[in-house]
Amino acid sequence: MTPTLTPFHGGVHPPEHKQQSSEAPIRAAGLPPLLRLSLAQSMGAPARPCVSVGQRVLKGQRLADADGAMSVAVHAPTSGVVRAIGPLPLAHPSGLNGPGIELEPDGDERWIELTPLDWRHADPAQVLDTLQARGVAGLGGALFPTHLKLARRGLDTLVVNGAECEPYITCDDRLMRERASGIVAGIALAAQLTEARQVLIGIEDNKPQAIAAMRAACAGSGFDVVVIPTLYPSGGAKQLIHLLTGKAVPAGRRSTEFGVQCLNVATLYTAARALEHGEPAIQRLVTLTGAVARPGNVEALLGTPADWLLAEAGRQADSDQIIMGGPMMGFALPDASAGLTQASNCLIAASPTLFPPRPPAMPCIRCGDCAQVCPAELQPMDLHWFAKARQFDKARDAHLFDCIECGACSYVCPSQIPLVDYYRFAKSELWASDRDKKAAERARQRHEFRQFRLERDKTEKAERLAQRSAALASQAAASTATAADAPSADDAGKRAAIEAAMARAAARQAEQTAAKADHPASAATPSDDAKRAAIEAAMARAAARKAEQAAAKAD
């Protein structure tokens, strides 16, 4: 049964500009002379390189391992030689460099040995690990790791996002038209892992061919293709969930808490290829449009330089910049040589004719148009004032982080204020402040733990010394008590020997006394008479010397 749609607040319907790229079949982009492959292919930490400069690699070979649960592995989009590992231009509005790998293709397109996985009978944990190891992340633009999205079991509803609401972008439209069966295989995979009770596939009504193709592919599967009105940003995850299920996901909460998960059609297609064919995530469909001679959708290798890709499509001379993404949420590439990532769904060769310079911003007139179109039901004019006055905490309190940066407020602003730029600035300042606070808190915790550890070590040392002293005292007391209570055999023997010696000495003395009494005249031995005579002679000599000295003094 087709669900009842619940419209979300706000939204706009800008000119679509889709037909110029949506009517041509998907084509191969070709092999560029150099690939600049970012190691940040998910919203988590960049992957850790596991190859070295100068190493030859095969197509599909792992170049970098996932670094944590939020990270995914990175693989070689083609065979070739690793030329550099280090900072490379990023496809990011900041213009900063980031960790990456430069790969020079050799033109051979030699694959590694592919190992498909029978996900229908495999352990779910093995399936999720395989998705992470093969680099699958959200191709809808958020780059949320797919293995984490599919880890939640017991869902009420699996929402499949085929809305593709932003102007100019048509890669999901062509994917659904030409490869609907592959998408349905990915949907079946996700439905099995999440144990979803129903599957709703939302597609805007401006894609009739895609709707027909998906309905044909879903025949007999139980998956419902739901046609939704064409309104930007109906492709936002929270907006699409609200539209199809009527459930509003509050700020700071995940849709899985309400029994719903949302995945993009391209993500599901890539997940099915990774498991059923063993192909890691090394390419994606990209819309090439704007000021180009051959607009359309191409299957491009990750890391393909944006300027090379548009040159292959016949970029026109009046194009002065490249917009990555759509005109509403995309950004002008600071470095046109940056390589494609999994989030790169569209490249627009912008020209002054297609994108005239924005008029100078005028003061806010408090008209309220921005609040009327905001899909998150915010007060954009208040957020603008808070950001402009650098009152970032007030902006946070006004639910700044509920903003999905869809650009609807900037689109309708009669004063031409670039509102989203202010919101991005405020968010970046708050993120930086939060990082500083966390760093200070970690430093405080480390200091407090060090003090605690020193006091703990000091207390434990004192306790050990006290225990050792008590043990020695107890041992000495025990030895003394043992000696007093039970004299040893050695002590008894020594005492007996002493008593025997004393007895023998006493007997000898008694014998001598008796001999002197029987023979008094012979009591003095000849030796004693000699000693006595020597003493008397010495005394006589001393007396004579004394007399001589006395006489000398008298004279």
CATH number for region 19-350: 3.40.50.11540
> What is d(CA 122, CA 193) in angstroms, rounded to the nearest whole number?
11
Q: Are 165 and 233 in contact (CB under 8 A)?
A: yes
Q: Which parts of 414-540 are beta strand (E)? A: none
> What is d(CA 165, CA 230) in angstroms, rounded to the nearest whole number?
7
Contacts by 251-258 with C-beta closer than 8 Å and gap 24+? 251/399, 251/401, 251/402, 252/401, 256/152, 256/155, 258/156
**Domain regions of the chain by residue span:** 19-350, 360-449
Q: Can you give the pLDDT of all 555 residues of the chain as single tens digits?
A: 667 899 999 999 999 999 999 999 999 999 999 999 999 999 889 999 999 999 999 999 999 999 999 999 999 999 999 999 999 998 888 888 999 999 999 999 999 999 999 999 999 999 999 999 999 999 988 889 999 999 999 999 999 999 999 999 999 999 999 999 999 999 999 999 999 999 999 999 999 999 999 999 999 999 999 999 999 999 999 999 999 999 998 877 899 999 999 999 999 999 999 999 999 999 999 999 999 999 999 999 999 999 999 999 999 999 999 999 999 999 999 999 999 999 999 999 999 999 999 899 999 999 999 999 999 999 999 999 999 999 999 999 999 999 999 999 999 999 999 999 999 999 999 999 998 999 999 999 999 999 999 999 999 999 999 988 888 888 888 877 765 655 555 556 666 666 666 767 677 776 666 665 555 444 445 456 666 767 777 776 777 677 667 666 655
415-438: string of b/e by CB count within 10 Å (b at 16+)? bebebbbbbbebbeebeeeeeeee
Q: What is the pLDDT of residue 541?
A: 74
What's the number of CA atoms in the CB half-sphere (13 Å) around residue 425? Answer: 14
With residues binned 3-state (H G I as helix, E B as strand, rest as coil), the percentages for the chain, rounded to 5, are 45, 15, 40
> What is d(CA 497, CA 507) in angstroms, rounded to the nearest whole number?
15
The pTM assigned to this predicted structure is: 0.80
